[in-house]
């Protein structure tokens, strides 16, 4: 009986070739699922057509019912908008997976792309062992990489999966590459060549790719080596890139009268100007397709070819078929590559050739002049890229791409003219700034904070965590105010809301424990699981203190036991490499090569969590400390690099850059010192002390503000970017908590990082990003900037910086404005930037929501982050800010808890939102571990009496773990 195969996107270019290959084999019955049925469709007893959209899960399930194999080919062409890629390639692929599992489809072959490795760097005969990069230079490649990872992670006994990565598909029926070349020829641009044509490229004949899909379907079987694997599919014969279009021109008798060779770097500049021209047309409301871009320049100029040894070894007879247009595969001899077609028409002066070429085209000089003006505005008003590295990671959290986010900031800022430059200081609205860049305190705050018994200094010349610690008066002395204070305490204690948050904790924990434990995180929309940080059970370790505070002791004990059992099983071996949103699937440990630790996450999540457990559970102390020490000894190995006082790297050894973030090499003080205190092993404390000494000894351009990025070999650059954002905030917070007097300047940000937006934005202060090279400040804030308000409140008490309380309050107001301006009031975007008055006049956000003008959204996701909850808990417990009778701060938090419950709750837990500015946007199937570990913990404490999690008894680490004083 023939096997039933369903092909999504079967009416497209590649889909038709795949169907043709299947029809040639009598052992298949084929169903084509596409959004349209072509006019030349000819259904037969073995071939039928179904109209359907992969975004409709119900329709997908109906279509998939009764089939054995799915070939998932459907994907938008390259010129589609980014949002379309995200919806179809990611959400659509998830629907395909769900439909397969629901309807008993046993084999799934996904058409991925070789561009999943496209991060702008050359790729020379690379194979599948190269990990998917964390940063992409185009949305298509990124979404393909995410979808591929989803498919491979779905591999199981019920559904065997694999992914094929073709490169540069061409052939009859091509709707992209060949028509693109034809369009270039019609415009007379075939006389241009970018680069010297030395870069080899894998052009792949479409029949080879289609044949590989059939082979993969045959090979997937229980126990097969193909299961859960990705395969590059090419002709196995890379050629110089420009040989292919030249052969195409020769095929249709087109001859270039002369050739103009454009230098790679010149082409990059032209690509940027072309992108600006496209943007201008879009801003003027004109239709503008993406044309010549910097991505395409890199694409055609670099080596980009792949090894297919794995496909030949695992897929049967995978050497491919003979391409009918075999002459297109033959390389042109090197000595002929740059020869003109008609030598007599080549000028002796290349620059003059370019001028003559463009002079013949009407209006081109006017366009170039406009582009030059745009280039100047880009240089003048937008933050330059970081000097340290072109490939660094940064963003809304530690694992998101810095380059990606900064480039998005530049693009969005271009869309809205310009963003406000360095802060405009209003002497009447801010405090005086001293020589060291500190802000002097206002009289009203002095009167509040310097009352007897409400403030104490917590510093020493050489502070060590393992020394016997004294309990310092960090928290407000509620008992010192008599009957009046009793009323305030009642106002603070909201039993109804506290119970509501407790129920949220129970719901989130039950969904994770029953469906995902001991994996890292729950997929709350589908009830699945995913590993994002080594697969060690990050939600397990982060939830335990939250469960304990909420009085859910049975759940806490179950979590402890499962965590320790899981540690015993994996022995701190990395089963998942650290990735952006868990997108890279690392090699199995069965390969014999273990990935390196993510130093930051391993320290703050796992080591900190275990030490918190060890302190709170004397019965398990020995067992937990043993596991903690084993992990710490692995972490110590990273200090054997060129600079022994900082970790050499914070991720896998295959990453092709050497820069590390400030947070990743400095957020270790509390955990290492606490471990030495509990084990009486000075090794870890000494490392922490050496690390602190290293940072204290640096000669910085701005004392107290450290670079976001470090080179482990050479240290910080003389010019750098500083911020309190995702890649640096935890560093400052950690050193504030140590109380080391040498680091009092660590967060001296008033002169350089604080900006004061126009009244139109409705906020007070913005904690931005400062570039020391150009002495400019970009007023943008991410979630970590809101978390910094809690850090400032604590530092105000520890270091006597009373003015920081006011800054913390002002930052809170800014964050709250973001929360209120979304389509889900109470839930804010991950990252925003602020505008000057001129650029915000008459402009409104293009989607739904009540956001007032004055700022733009850079990263619209809401990812269940703790945000300002930590500050709100600190603010009350330190100085009673915002929760006095008649105040509305608690109401704001009530509103947030209701918003999470209403918009994020699922059957299994709570899910992130893809776009808080659009109420129709889909949910993300992810519940990060910090939701239980921090967000719900701080919400619970906000509505609890002040003696629950008292700041006089506990220190809350950057990851929300509780350390006893």
Known binding-site residues equal 958
∠633-635-638 over CA atoms, to 5°? 120
Nearest-CA neighbor of 150 among 553, 585, 644, 586? 585
Query: 48 forms bridges with which residues in the sheet?
Result: 31
CA–CA dist 528, 524 (Å, integer): 7
The three-state DSSP-derived secondary structure of 496-561 is HHHHHHHHHHHHHHHHHHHHCCCCCEEECCCCEEECCCECCCHHHHHHHHHHHHCCCHHHHHHHHH
- The owner of tokens 């239709």 is 287
The pairing of beta strand 239-240 with beta strand 169-170:
unpaired
Which parts of 821-858 fold into alpha helices (H)? 837-840
Instruction: Answer whether the bond into residue 518 is a cis peptide, omega within 30°.
Output: yes
Find out whether 670 and 738 touch, Cβ atoms under 8 Å.
Answer: yes
Long-range contacts for 449-456 (Cβ within 8 Å, ≥24 apart)? 449/796, 449/797, 449/802, 449/805, 449/879, 450/802, 453/477, 453/480, 454/879, 455/797, 455/800, 456/797
Specify whether the CB–CB gap between 878 and 474 falls below 8 A.
yes
What does the angle CA 932 – CA 135 – CA 824 come to, to the nearest 5 degrees? Answer: 45
d(CA 533, CA 602): 8
DSSP-derived pairing of the beta strands 192-194 and 660-661: unpaired
Using CA of residue 742, residue 747, residue 750, residue 753, what is the dihedral sign?
positive
Cβ-based neighbours of 812, under 8 Å, separated by 6 or more: 786, 789, 868, 871, 872, 875, 882
Q: What are phi and psi of 589, to 5 degrees?
A: -65, -20
Q: Would you tell me how many other CB atoms lie within 10 Å of the CB of residue 450?
A: 12
Cβ atoms of 536 and 496 closer than 8 Å: no
CA distance 547 to 5: 48
Secondary structure (H, E, C), 637-706: HHHCCCCCCCCCCCCCCCCCCCCEEHHHHHCCHHHHHHHHHHHCCHHHHHHHHHHHHHHHHCCCCCCCCC
Strands (E) located in 367-471: none
Q: In a 3-state reduction of DSSP, which class is residue 67?
A: coil
567, 623, 678, 851 from 618: Cα distances, Å: 19, 10, 11, 51
Please name which of 364, 464, 385, 928 lies closest in space to residue 690, comparing C-alpha atoms: 464
- Binding residues for Ca(2+), by number, are 958
- How far is it, in rounded angstroms, from Cα 502 to Cα 552? 9
Q: What share of the chain is helix, strand, coil (3-state, %, to 5)?
A: 45, 10, 45
Q: Is 732 a catalytic residue?
A: no
Active-site entry in 140, 394, 720, 845: 140
Q: Please list the active-site residues.
A: 140
């Amino acid at each position: 009986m023939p096997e039933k195969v369903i092909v999504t996107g079967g009416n497209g270019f590649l889909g038709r070739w795949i169907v043709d290959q299947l029809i040639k084999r009598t052992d298949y019955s084929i169903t084509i699922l596409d959004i349209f049925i072509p006019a030349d469709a000819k259904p037969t007893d073995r071939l039928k057509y179904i109209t359907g959209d992969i975004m409709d899960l119900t329709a997908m399930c109906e279509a998939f019912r009764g089939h054995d194999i799915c070939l998932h080919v459907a994907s938008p062409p390259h010129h589609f908008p980014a949002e379309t890629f995200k919806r179809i390639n990611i959400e659509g692929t998830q629907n395909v997976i769900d439909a397969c599992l629901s309807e008993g489809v046993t084999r799934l072959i996904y058409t991925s792309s070789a561009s999943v490795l496209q991060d702008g760097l050359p790729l020379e005969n690379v194979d599948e062992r190269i990990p998917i990069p964390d940063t992409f230079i185009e949305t298509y490649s990124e979404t393909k990489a995410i979808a591929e990872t989803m498919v491979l992670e779905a591999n199981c006994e019920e559904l065997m999966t694999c992914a094929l990565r073709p490169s540069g598909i061409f052939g009859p029926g091509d709707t992209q590459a060949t028509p693109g070349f034809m369009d270039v020829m019609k415009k007379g641009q075939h006389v241009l060549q970018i680069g010297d044509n030395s870069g080899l490229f894998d052009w792949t004949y479409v029949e080879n790719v289609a044949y590989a899909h059939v082979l993969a379907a045959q090979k997937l079987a229980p126990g097969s080596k193909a299961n859960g694997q990705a395969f590059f599919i090419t002709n196995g014969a890379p050629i110089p890139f420009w040989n292919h279009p030249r052969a195409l021109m020769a095929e249709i008798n087109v001859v270039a009268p002369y050739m103009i060779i454009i230098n790679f770097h010149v082409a990059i500049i032209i690509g940027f100007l072309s992108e600006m021209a496209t943007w201008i047309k879009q801003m003027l409301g004109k239709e503008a397709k993406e044309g010549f871009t910097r991505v395409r320049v890199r694409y055609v100029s670099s080596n980009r070819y792949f090894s297919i040894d794995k496909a030949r070894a695992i897929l049967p007879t995978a050497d491919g078929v003979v391409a009918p247009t075999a002459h297109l595969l033959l390389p042109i001899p090197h000595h002929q590559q740059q020869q003109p077609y008609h030598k007599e028409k080549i000028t002796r002066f290349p620059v003059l050739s370019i001028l003559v070429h463009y002079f013949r085209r009407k209006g081109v000089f006017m366009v170039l002049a406009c582009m030059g003006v745009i280039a100047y505005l880009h240089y003048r008003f937008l933050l330059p890229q970081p000097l340290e590295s072109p490939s660094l990671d940064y963003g809304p959290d530690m694992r998101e791409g810095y380059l990606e986010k900064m480039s998005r900031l530049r693009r969005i800022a271009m869309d809205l003219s310009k963003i406000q430059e360095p802060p405009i200081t209003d002497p009447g609205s801010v405090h005086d700034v001293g020589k060291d860049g500190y802000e002097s305190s206002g009289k009203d705050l002095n009167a509040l904070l310097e009352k007897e018994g409400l403030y104490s200094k917590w510093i020493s010349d050489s502070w060590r965590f393992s020394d016997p610690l004294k309990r310092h008066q960090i928290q407000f002395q509620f008992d010192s105010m008599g009957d009046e204070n009793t009323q305030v305490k009642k106002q603070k204690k909201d039993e109804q809301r506290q119970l509501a948050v407790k129920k949220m904790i129970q719901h989130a924990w039950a969904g994770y424990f029953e469906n995902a434990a001991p994996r890292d995180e729950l997929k709350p929309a589908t009830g699945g699981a995913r590993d994002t940080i080594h697969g060690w059970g990050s939600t397990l370790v982060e939830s335990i203190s939250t469960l304990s505070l909420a009085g859910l002791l049975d759940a806490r004990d179950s979590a402890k036991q499962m965590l320790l059992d899981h540690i015993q099983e994996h022995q701190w071996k990395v089963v998942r490499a650290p990735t952006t949103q868990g997108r890279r699937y690392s090699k199995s440990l069965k390969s014999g090569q273990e990935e390196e630790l993510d130093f930051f996450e391993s320290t703050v999540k796992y080591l900190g969590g275990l030490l918190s457990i060890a302190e709170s559970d004397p019965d398990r102390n020995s067992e937990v400390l043993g596991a903690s020490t084993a992990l710490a000894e692995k972490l110590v190995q990273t200090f054997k690099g060129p600079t022994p006082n900082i970790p050499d790297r914070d991720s896998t050894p295959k990453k092709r850059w050497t820069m590390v973030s400030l947070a990743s090499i400095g957020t270790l003080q509390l955990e290492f010192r606490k471990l030495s205190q509990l084990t009486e092993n000075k090794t870890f404390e000494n490392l922490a002390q050496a690390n602190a000494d290293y940072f204290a000894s640096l000669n910085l351009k701005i004392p107290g503000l450290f670079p976001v990025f470090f080179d482990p070999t050479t240290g910080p650059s003389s010019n750098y970017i500083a911020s309190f954002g995702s890649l640096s905030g935890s560093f400052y917070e950690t050193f504030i908590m140590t109380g080391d007097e040498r680091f009092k300047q660590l967060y001296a940000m008033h002169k350089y990082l604080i900006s004061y937006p126009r009244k139109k934005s409705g906020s007070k202060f913005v904690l931005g990003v400062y570039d020391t090279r150009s002495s400019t400040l970009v007023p943008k804030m991410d979630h970590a900037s809101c978390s910094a308000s809690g850090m400032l409140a604590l530092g105000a008490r520890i270091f006597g910086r009373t003015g920081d309380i006011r800054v913390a309050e002002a930052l809170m107001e800014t964050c709250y404005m973001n929360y209120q301006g979304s389509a889900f009031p109470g839930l804010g975007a991950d990252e925003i930037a602020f505008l000057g008055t001129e650029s915000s006049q008459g402009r409104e956000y293009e989607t739904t929501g009540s956001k007032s003008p004055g700022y733009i959204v850079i990263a619209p996701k809401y990812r269940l982050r703790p945000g300002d909850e930590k500050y709100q808990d600190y603010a009350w417990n330190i100085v009673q800010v915002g929760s006095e009778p008649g105040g509305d701060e608690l109401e704001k938090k009530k509103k947030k808890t209701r918003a999470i419950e209403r918009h994020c709750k699922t059957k299994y837990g709570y899910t992130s939102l893809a776009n808080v500015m659009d109420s129709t946007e889909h949910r993300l199937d992810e519940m990060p571990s910090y939701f239980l570990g921090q967000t719900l913990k701080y919400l619970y404490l906000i509505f609890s009496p002040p003696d629950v999690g008292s700041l006089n008894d506990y220190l809350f680490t950057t990851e929300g773990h509780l350390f006893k004083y």
